[in-house]
Structure 1
Amino acid sequence: MASQPSHPFRSPAVLALADDLSGAAETACALGGAVRLSLTADTVAGADGDLVVDLDSRHLPSAAAAEAVRKTLHGVRDRLLYKKVDSQLRGNLAAEAAAYAEGAKALVIAPALPAARRTVTGGVVHLDGVALHRTDGWRAERSAAPRSIAEALTGLAVRTVPLNVVRAAPDALDAEFRRIAAAGAHPIPEAETDADLDAIAAAALRLGAGFRLLGSGGLAAALGRALERTPVAAPEKSTAPLLFVVGTAEPGAVAQIAQLTALGAHHVPLDPGELTSGTARLPDVTGTAPTVLSIDGSAGLSPGAGRALSTALAALALTYPGRPDLVLTGGETARVALDALGIRELAPLGEIHHGAVRSRTPDGRTVVTRPGSYGAADSLRRIATALRPDLLRP
């Protein structure tokens, strides 16, 4: 099986693009070191060091999303490029990938995320061994899940690289990537483990800047392991109120919230109709225990309503007193909340668990972002314990 390189690659600074905030934070943390996370592409020109940009393009029409990629990359030189994509292939994947491919020899496409049990075999994403289109991973989307990565990337010529080649000698994998690129296509290497992703990232680095990486947080972490970066300092302790804003329709969120409330957190489920009509209100919350705001999905949610609900939920959260530290689940929820606060940049400090990234705002507030589909039943409890170890009762 492929193994991690014996020595780090020295490279130019990384410029990574993501289509939502939780994915951008995940990527920044995966790369390691003092990475800046920007909520605006205006900071790319002249920026020093590693930079991750949240394009906030998940909700845009496909043409606008592609243009956001082109505009951000225009004039960029001497940067190692990375494009973060959703491990379940959601968003404007085809349009953004096509724009990202402009000027490249090939894209090395690897959306596998072994830490979340998401693998790629036969050119198909699998969740816990089940093909993506046979799962409910796209239940909140307006369309059905693609049956393959090639289908999700309609318009790009792609070729699958079998697992035995990924795990072969480095020269063999390099040669296969070159062969596919010479034929005008883009390689989709199979991957089941982090070691597979290490081999894929290492091959792209050996082949040079013309081979651009496109993948999930798993591939970003493999890139981070291959680069030489200085760890950031441990975060300082905060005593501010703690507010969880759960803006995801994932069924697992119910169990995650239940573990927090069992330890004394206040849970405020909010009616979707009242949220979008602007009539929802926060109850009086007393004491020091964390508060959890969530969307009540017991009656079902309309597909495609996520952006409006996230915006309304974030607006309501901002009325919470005491300038709380924030735990924001769901990329859209995180982005609209920080936009409303006028926060344009984050400094990632590390992961609490996979995908749950703790960051610091320029004015010193702590923010944790986490994709809505991530985390076991104890996810929110683990986050609360990391941020406020003495706040919840045992």
Structure 2
Amino acid sequence: MDMTPSRRLLAIADDLSGAAEVAAAVCSRTTRSRVLLFGGPGAVGMATALRPRHAGEATVLDLDSRYRPAAEAAEAVRGALRMSWPDGGGQDAVAAPGPSDTLEALDTFVLKKIDSLLRGNVAAEIAALAEGGAGVVLAPALPIAGRVVRSGVVHIGGVPLHEGDAWRAEAVPPPASVAQALGGLPTAPIPLATVRSSRPTLLTALRAAATAGRVAICDAETDADLDAIVEASLADGPGMRLVGSGGLALALGRHLTTASPATGARAAPGTGSPAAAGPAAPGATGSAVPGATGSVATAVGGPAVSDSWGRGAADATRAAVLASAAGTAASSAQTGRPVLVVVGTAEPAAVEQVRRLVEDGASHHPLPLAALLADGSPVRLPALTAAVTVVSLSASPESPGPAPAYEAVALPSPRPAPSSVGGAEPVSGRRLVLGLARAVGAAVAAHDGAVDLVLTGGETARRVLDALAVAELDPVGQVHHGAVHLRTPDGRSVVTRPGSFGDPDSLRHIVRALRPHSTERKVTS
């Protein structure tokens, strides 16, 4: 597949951290990328904004649809596809495309990013994607995080998804298989033996599934498996629509890097080869995911934190491109901007991540749940005078303030829970996150100057950026897998990270990348 000037890549994600993952994954010397926040308060003229600014540019849309009603999520996918056609109208466009629009739509490669744990409106969104007879290839494996698909079942660290606790914050039980997550959609299993066979054999299986109107569900355990799926799926051009996690996005990024000729000006001496990325800087910590192999240096300023992006020279090339982009994004330490870390995740691992950040000198302000859920004025945060401030959720009814204790707070899913008869009204996860976003928005607005942000959890990240009317982001680099450094149009840094990603030092690494030497570890072990 070649990303010629007449072809473009449209990626659609259901949450912001996933959209950021995709933008970083496909950004390379041959493909630029950006993230647009669909439907947000600052998203004016989205249909116009969708038109690529550069030949071969990848546009990544955050539909903010993971916890919306299924029918709304499906319509959001349809709307994104309609707007991707030239002159396809705005968000109210409902007419069928004309002949020229259809030809252009067929020249648009489509990637649908889903959660590797199959959370969200997977069935409804894939059904919308398959309308009109488009072939759909689904590969949700994320090998770098130990999430693989065997015999059509997602496994995490060797444990089937439905037998573990990865869905503990969800209002419904996890699916027992990928096919079950698709509800009644017709599917065709593509076993690992077929994925690892010759490309013609795999391509024949994918074509047969598409011809029969079935979603091809692919087993995959390694990055090489995902590479094979991408290469076979795109052998015939943009006709197949890819659906998968960040692992599939990385495979697509590798494919674009190796399959597409470089566009634009000739690279400067020393930048045209993977070696241009350079070795990892001294002090790099290596992969944050046990078992990951290979590394690239982070593209943000400060001490490099290396992590596996996948396989080989294509990833080193991507790192070099992001490093070049990072040159235009000054670190928070260089600009004097404070860093505000917002932890809105229910993951227990976040407790230790926050503890280590506070150990390094960050100011910690847990916010009481009751206050976040209350109507009226937003919770008031102290002035952002510290170099690094971290806010999190607290079950304590006390006012926000520095706290020596660290506690795990069970943040419910933003999806409305089934109503119980005679029971107490369940806490609304969406209201909690909205309250958190309002508090952060008020604190940023009250600060005299710009503030850089670290946002954990896709729902939290989206609500905070909506509160700040940010509708567009450009990728700068990746601190570790899933922790993506982005830049707002006015030059502020935003790092997003899924709540379930990162080792105990994740937040520490992110802050040190944004503010080298801004804090010192007070306790050594």
TM-score under structure 2 length normalisation: 0.71
Q: What CA distance in whole angstroms lies between the structure 2 residues aligned with 1:295 and 1:69? A: 32
* Residue aligning to 2:46: 43
1:326-365, Cα deviation, whole Å (9 max, x unpaired): 0011111111111111111001112111011111101111
* Residue aligning to 1:5: none
The structural deviation recorded for 1:236 is: 2.5
* Residue aligning to 2:77: 69
Distance 1:350 1:103, change over 3 A: farther
- Whether 2:500 is the aligned partner of 1:373: answer yes
The structural deviation recorded for 1:264 is: 0.7
- Whether 2:395 is the aligned partner of 1:283: answer no
* Residue aligning to 1:391: 518
| Structure 2 counterpart of 1:237, from 331, 338, 342 | 331
Aligned to 1:206, what secondary structure does the other structure show? coil
Q: What CA distance in whole angstroms lies between the structure 1 residues aligned with 2:386 and 2:8? A: 46
Matches within 5 A, 1:127-276: 127-228=156-257, 231-232=321-322, 233-234=325-326, 235-238=329-332, 239-276=336-373
* Residue aligning to 1:306: 429
The answer as to whether partners of 2:360 and 2:519 remain within 8 angstroms in 1 is yes
Instruction: Please list every run of 5 or more consecutive structure 1 residues that lacks an aligned counterpart in the other structure.
Output: 1-7
* Residue aligning to 2:391: 293
The answer as to whether partners of 1:104 and 1:211 remain within 8 angstroms in 2 is no
Q: What CA distance in whole angstroms lies between the structure 1 residues aligned with 2:184 and 2:138? A: 14
Bigger mean CA deviation after superposition, 22-31 or 73-82:
73-82
The structural deviation recorded for 1:119 is: 0.5
Matches within 5 A, 1:16-55: 16-33=11-28, 34-40=32-38, 42-45=45-48, 47-48=51-52, 49-55=57-63
Aligned CA RMSD, in angstroms, stands at: 1.8
Bigger mean CA deviation after superposition, 233-242 or 124-133:
233-242
The answer as to whether partners of 2:189 and 2:216 remain within 8 angstroms in 1 is yes
Aligned to 1:292, what secondary structure does the other structure show? strand
Indicate the percent of aligned positions where both proteins have the same amino acid.
51
Matched AA of 2:381: L
* Residue aligning to 1:13: 8
Distance 1:110 1:310, change over 3 A: same
Q: What CA distance in whole angstroms lies between the structure 2 residues aligned with 1:353 and 1:37? A: 19
The structural deviation recorded for 1:155 is: 2.4
Q: What CA distance in whole angstroms lies between the structure 2 residues aligned with 1:182 and 1:61? A: 30
Aligned to 2:438, what secondary structure does the other structure show? helix
Aligned to 1:318, what secondary structure does the other structure show? helix
- Whether 2:223 is the aligned partner of 1:126: answer no
Q: What CA distance in whole angstroms lies between the structure 2 residues aligned with 1:346 and 1:368? A: 11
Matched AA of 1:28: A
Bigger mean CA deviation after superposition, 226-235 or 27-36:
226-235
| Structure 2 counterpart of 1:342, from 443, 461, 469 | 469
Bigger mean CA deviation after superposition, 147-156 or 300-309:
300-309
TM-score under structure 1 length normalisation: 0.93
Q: What CA distance in whole angstroms lies between the structure 2 residues aligned with 1:349 and 1:62? A: 33
* Residue aligning to 1:3: none
* Residue aligning to 1:113: 142
